[in-house]
Structure 1
Amino acid sequence: MRSRGLVVLAGVVVLVLAVGVGAALVLPGRGGGGPGPEKVAADYFAAWRDGSFTRMEKLVAGAPANFADQHRALSRGLAVTSIDLRPGRLVHPRPRHAQQDFTVSRELSGRGTWSLRSVLRLGEVDGRWRVLWSPSTLYPGLKGMGSWRMREIDVPLLALTDRDGRALPEGGPLEPYVGELTDRLATDGDEAEAEDDASPWAIELQDGGGPAQRVKVFGDRTGRKIRTTLDRRVQAAAEKAVQDAPGEAAIVAMRPSTGEILAVADGLGGRGAFLGLYPPGSTFKLVTAAALLGDGMSAGSGADCPATVVTAQRTIRNHDGRSLGRASLRDAFAQSCNTTFARLAVERVKAAKLAASARAFGFEGPVTPGVPASRGRFPEPESGAELAEAAIGQGRVQASPLTMAMVAGAVADGTWRSPRMVATRLVRATGDPVRPSHAVPDAAALRSMMRAVVTEGTAAGAGLPSGTGGKTGTAEVGSGEPSHAWFVGYRGDLAFSVLVQGGGSGPKVAVPVAAAFLGQVR
C-alpha cells in the first residue's frame, strides 16, 4: 500500500457557514443562577463558530489543559478550511442534565467534506449550567488526545450497501466498521490503478497510544457493490437511541434466525461495540440460568432470595437490599436476585458446568462478524468466591455489546449462530473461520424468564413494546467509578444489547434507551 501525508496548510481559517441554534426545547433550564442550558449551548456553538477556544473553555466544567490543543490537532492534521455546525434539539434526559445533538461538517483542503454527528452534554455544576466536555464531543467515542491525518490509499473500487442494495448512511458511528470491512474484503484482483488526482484518501485517527483506525474514505469507490446485512431503518433507530442516551452508549442488533447483524450504533469509540470488554453484570444471569436449567431445575423450582447471603466466604448483596424470601427461579431472575444465583452456582452448578454454559453462548471462542471482534472472557473460577462473582457477571467475566447480543439472540431462536455483517462466504474470504451453529437447551424456559423481567420484573413499566423479553444488568467496576448500565433482549426476530458506559442503573438508564430503540423499529 502506498501512502503519503497530506501537506498541512500553514494558516487554517475556520469558518462557520451555518449555525442553527433555533432548536425546539423540550424543557426549560432549571439551573440555580446564571443562564440556562439553552443559552450556554448557544454561546458554546457561537464561540466555536468564531474559533474562540478561550470562550469555549470558559463554558466547560473542568476543561482539560489541552482543550484547545485537541481542537487544533484535528484542524491541522486534516487541513480543515471551514466548518459548518448545525445544532439539533436540546433535551433533558434526566434532572440537572441536558444534551444537544449536532452535526459538524468540515471541508478538508480539496479532499471533500467530512460530516459527522455528535452530542454536546451539559449539566449543573455548583448551581450553574456548564458544558460537560470530553474528547467524544469532538469525535464520538474519542477517549484521549487524538492524532489525525489524511493518507492516500489503495483500495478496491467497491462500495458496501445495506441489505437492500442502498447506500449506507454517512457521518455516523457505523463508518469505522464500514471502512474496516471494506479493507478486509479487498483483494488484489479487485484493485485498479487510478490517476493521482482520483486516488482515494482516508482519514486516520490514532486515539492516544492505540492503533491507527480508518474512520472515513474519500474517492471513487463505485465499482463492485457488496451487500451487507445492515438494515437502514434499524440502524437509524439504534443511532437515534444512542445519540439520546445519557452517556456514551452502544447498541448492537442482530437477527437471531440467521446471525445477521442489522445495526451497530457505537458511541464508545475504537469500535468498542465489538472490541470493548466490560463486566456484563446481571445480564450474565442468562448464562447462569441456562446452567441451572441444564442441571435439572425448572423456571418454577423453589429458590431463596434473601437480601444478603454469604457463600464460599463471599458476601453477596441484592441491589437496594431487595429480598423476596422463598421464591421461584423465574421470580428470582425477574427481580435479578444476586443472592439466588451466586449461592446456587456455588452449591449446585460448580465451576466446570458454568464455564461450559458460557462457552455454549459464545464466550472464549472466536467471533468473526467480518471485522475484528473480541471474544467474551470467562476464565474458569479458581475458588468458590470467584464462582459466586462470576455467576452474576462480575469478577473476571467480560463481554462486549456484540457478545451479549449473541447471548440474547441464542435464547430468542434456540440456536447459537455466529454473527456476521456480510454473507458467510465473504466472512471466510477475509480469512476468518466461521463457528458452526448449535442448539441452546431450555431456550423456551429462558424466554419465559426474560418475558417476566419485562412484565413484572426489573424492566416492568419502562415502555418496552409487547412481546419483548430481556435482562437488565448493573455492572460494578470498582474504584468508586459508576456502574455500567446494561439491557439485553429480543422481540420477534430481533435481538439486541444496550450498554451505557458508566450509566449507573440498568433498569433506570439502559432499559429506557432500549425502549426508545424498539419504539422506532416496531
Structure 2
Amino acid sequence: MNDTEGTTYGRGAPARRARGTRAAVAAGTAVALAAGTAYATDLGPFAPKSPKAPKAAPEATAQARAFLADWSAGRLARAARLTSSPGQAERVLRNFTTGLDIAEPELRAGEATADEDGTVTVPFTATMPVTGLGTWTYRSRLPLRERDDGTWAVDWKLSVVHPKLSDTQKFRLEREDTGAARVNDRRGAALSGDTHPSLAPVLAQLSGAAGAGPRGAIHRVDRTSGEVTGTEATFGARRARTPTKPVATTLDPAWQSAAERALAAGAKGKDAALVALRIDNGEILAVANSPATGFNRALSGTYAPGSTFKVVTTSALLLKGAVAPGDTVDCPRYLTVGKQFHNVEKSEHRGATFREDFAESCNTAFIGLRGKLPDDGLGDVAKRYFGIGQRWRTGVPSFDGAVPAPRDETEKAAAMIGQGRVLANPLVMASVTATAASGTFRQPTLVPGQKDTTRTRALPREVTGALRSLMRTTVTDGTARGLAGLSGAVGAKTGTAEVAEGTPNNGWMVAHRGNVAIAAVVEKGRTGGASAGPVVKEVLSAVDSDPA
C-alpha cells in the first residue's frame, strides 16, 4: 500500500524534536502476538481474537480482482483477455447493460475458495447504478482455472456476469414516472435538481420513499418471446400516490450550494462525492455527487477510506494505551507484511513521534503498531464507538461502513491504514470525523424524526482531546496544510486509497470546524491533499459560520 499523503519529513516542514517520556516503539519489528498471550482475555473495548480462515490461491484471487476492476472501469477488452474466451466475454460484457441505463458498476470480490477439481471460486457483489432509479445489487461467482503456463483465467460462461443470465434469458428495464414529490430544505424552501443538480440521486430516493417519483423494474425475459419470467429488482414506491405534504430534510441551503460549487470546480470532471453534517446531532447539511445522475455515491458508495481511517486506528491505539502522541514510533522506508508497504517516494523518518506519524500520514509507523491490537480490535472500536457497521436510519438507503476481522497479517496491516477490506463513503467518514471531534457518535439523518437503533459508547475525554490535537497538527504542520489559512481551529486528515493495479488512487479528505464535519472523496484523484483538499477548502471558505 502506498499512501501518497505520507511522510514528507525534512521537506520544508518545521522541525519538531519534542519527544515523550514513554518507551520508544520500534515500528516494523513488532509481530502480532499469538493467541493466548497478551490478548487472551477481553481487555477494555476489545474482544478475544477470532480464528483465522484459510486463504486460497492468491494468484487466482489477484486475477479475479483484476477482472472485476477492469469490468467496473469499462476496460472491457482488457477484462475479456483475463478469461478463457476473450471474444465472447467482450461481446457479453458490452451487451449486458444495453437498455438497462447502468452507469459505472461497482464490483467487489469476496473470499476465494478452492474446489476439488482445481477450480478456484471468487464470489463477488455487483452494485449496478440504474440512472434515475437507484441501484441493482446482486451476487455472482467467478470460477478460475490455472492455464498450462501457470497463469489463471476466469473460466468464461454467461453466469459469470449474472447467475441467471443464459442462452435463453436476458434482462430488460421498464420505467414509469409518477411525478416527483416536493422536497424541502431545513428552512422549508423547495429543493430541485435544477438549482442543486448533484442532489438528483437523493431527490429521486426521497420522492420514491414518499410514494412519488420515478418507478421501475429490471425483469428477466425470454430471449425469443420477450415474455417476463421473473423480476430481479424494483425501484420506487410499490403504489403510486400523490404526496399530501412535502418531504422535509435537514439539508442546509448555504452548505448544499457551497458543496455543489466546490465539487463542480474541484473534482475536475472526476467521479466524486461530499457530505457535511452537524457534529452535535448528526443532521446532514449537504450531500453532493458527481456525476449527478444515477448512483448516490456520497451515502451508498463503498470505498477504501485510506489514511482518513487512521482516525479510527488512532482511537483504537489510544483506548488500548498502546501509544501516546509524544511516543517515538519509527517511520521506516519499507515494511514487509506478506507484501511490501511503503510511504510516499519511499521516504522515511527515524525517531519520529506518533504525532508526526499521524500528521504526515506515515503508513509504516501505523502498520508497525499492529501487534498492539488484537485481530478484531479495529472492527470492535469502529462499531462500539463510531457506529460503523450498525444499521443507520438516515431516511434514505445508505451504506454504513464495514471493518471485518482480518484473515491474515497482511490484511491486518492493510486495515491499519484503511485498506484491505475496510469500506466506507463520505457519509461514514464525515460521521467518524464528527465522533472524533465531539467524542460521541450521533446517527446521521437526512430526514428528521428517524429512529436511532444504534448502540455505542462515548470516547474517553482524553482520547477525544488527543484526536482533536492530532487533527489540528495535521493542518498546521502536516499533509492538510492547504487548510491552514482558513478561519477557525480546523482539524483534518488526508487519505489516499489504492483501488486496483494500474488504476490511479482515490483522494480523500476529512475535516471539522465549529459544529460541522466534512468528508470528500475524488475517484482517481491520486492524492487526498491535491484532489479532495481543494474541494473541502472551497466549502469551508464559502460558509464560515455554523448552521442555524
| TM-score normalised per structure 1 | 0.64
Q: Aligned residue for 1:356?
A: 380
Deviations 1:80-115 (A, max 9, x none): xxxxxxxxxxxxxxxxxxxxxxxxxxxxxxxxxxxx
Counterpart position of 1:29? none
Relative distance call for 1:147 and 1:405 in structure 2 (3 A) is farther
Between the aligned partners of 1:141 and 1:499, the Cα distance in structure 2 is: 20
Aligned length: 375
1:470 to 485, 492, 503: 492
Match of 2:408 among 380, 383, 394: 383
Aligned: 1:264 with 2:287 = yes
Q: In the alignment, what sits opposite 2:454?
A: 435
1:254 equivalenced with 2:273 (yes/no): no
Map of 2:334 onto structure 1: 308
**1:460 equivalent in alignment to 2:513:** no
Consecutive unaligned residues of structure 2, counting only runs of 5 or more, are: 1-75, 77-89, 102-128, 137-170, 219-230
**Residue deviations 1:343-373, cap 9 Å, x none?**
1023x12323222122122222212211111
Q: Which residue of 2 aligns with 1:485?
A: 507
Give the letter aligned to residue 271 of structure 2. Answer: E
- AA paired with 2:214? A
Query: Matched residues in 2 for 1:175 and 1:325: separation?
Result: 49
- Following superposition, the deviation at residue 275 of structure 1 comes to 1.4
Change (3 A) 1:236 1:374: same
Distance in 2 of aligned mates of 1:282 and 1:201: 39
Give the equivalent residue in structure 2 for 1:330.
Answer: 355
**C-alpha displacement of 1:495:** 0.5
Shift of 1:468: 1.4
* CA-based RMSD: 3.9
More displaced stretch, 295-304 vs 281-290: 295-304
Residues 383 and 152 from structure 1, CA distance in 2 versus in 1: closer, same or farther, beyond 3 angstroms?
A: closer
**Aligned counterpart, 1:85:** none
Native 8 Å contact 2:207 2:213 kept in 1: no
Question: Quick check: 2:395–2:447 contact (8 Å CA) kept in 1?
Answer: yes
* Separation in 2, partners of 1:390, 1:344: 12
User: How many angstroms apart in 2 are the aligned matches of 1:501 and 1:141?
Assistant: 20
**Within 5 Å, which residues of 2 pair with 1:498-513?**
498-513=520-535
The alpha-carbon distance between structure 1 residues 499 and 202, as it changes in their structure 2 partners (threshold 3 A), is same
Q: Name the CA distance, whole Å, in 1 between partners of 2:331 and 2:529.
A: 19
Distance 2:358 2:304 in 1: 18
Q: Which residue of 2 aligns with 1:448?
A: 469
Following superposition, the deviation at residue 408 of structure 1 comes to: 0.7
Q: Residue by residue, what CA displacement relative to the aligned partner does 1:406-453 show, whole Å, maximum 9, x if unpaired? A: 1011112211111101223xx24xxxx532453123111101111111
> Which consecutive residues of structure 1, in runs of 5 or more, have no partner in the other structure?
1-61, 78-135, 187-199
Closer/same/farther in 2, CA of residues 152 and 481 from structure 1, 3 Å limit: closer
For the residue of structure 1 that corresponds to 2:246, the secondary structure is strand
Structure with the bigger percentage of strand: 1
Does structure 1 residue 242 correspond to structure 2 residue 263?
A: yes
Secondary structure in 2 matching 1:454: helix
Superposed displacement of residue 170, structure 1: 2.4
Q: Is the 8 A contact 2:386 2:456 kept in 1?
A: no
239-248 or 337-346, which moves further after superposition?
Answer: 239-248
Q: Determine which of 397, 401, 413 is the counterpart of 2:426.
A: 401
SS in 1 for 2:373: helix
Tell me whether 1:496 sits opposite 2:496 in the alignment. Answer: no
Are the counterparts in 2 of residues 330 and 449 from structure 1 also a CA contact under 8 Å? yes
Relative distance call for 1:201 and 1:478 in structure 2 (3 A) is closer
Equivalent residues of 2:482, 2:529 under 8 A apart: no
Alpha-carbon shift at residue 225 of structure 1 (Å): 3.2
Q: Distance in 2 between matches of 1:369 and 1:331?
A: 36
Q: Distance in 2 between matches of 1:214 and 1:173?
A: 19
Q: Shift of the alpha carbon at 1:140?
A: 13
Structure 1 CA distance, aligned partners of 2:199 and 2:354? 39
Q: Counterparts in 2 of 1:86-125, with a 5 A limit?
A: none
* Residues 1:232 and 2:253 are matched in the alignment: yes
Higher relative contact order (CA 8 A, sep 6+): 2
Q: What is the rounded CA distance, in whole Å, between the counterparts of 1:520 and 1:219 in structure 2?
A: 39
Q: Which residue in 2 is equivalent to 1:123?
A: none
More off after superposition, 294-303 vs 412-421: 294-303
* Alignment partner, residue 179 of structure 1: 204
Deviates more, 1:158-167 or 1:332-341: 158-167
Look up the match of 2:185.
Answer: 162
State the identity as a percent.
36
8 Å Cα contact 1:498/1:510 also seen in 2: yes
Preserved CA contact (<8 Å) 1:150 1:201: no
- CA 1:415–1:165 in 2, change beyond 3 Å: closer, same or farther? same
Distance 1:257 1:481, change over 3 A: same
SS at match of 1:472: strand
Measured after TM superposition, the shift of residue 212 of structure 1 is: 6.0
Distance of 1:401 and 1:205 partners within structure 2: 28
- CA 1:140–1:519: 2 relative to 1, 3 Å: farther
**Who is 1:282 aligned against?**
307
What is the TM-score when the length of structure 2 is the normalising length? 0.61
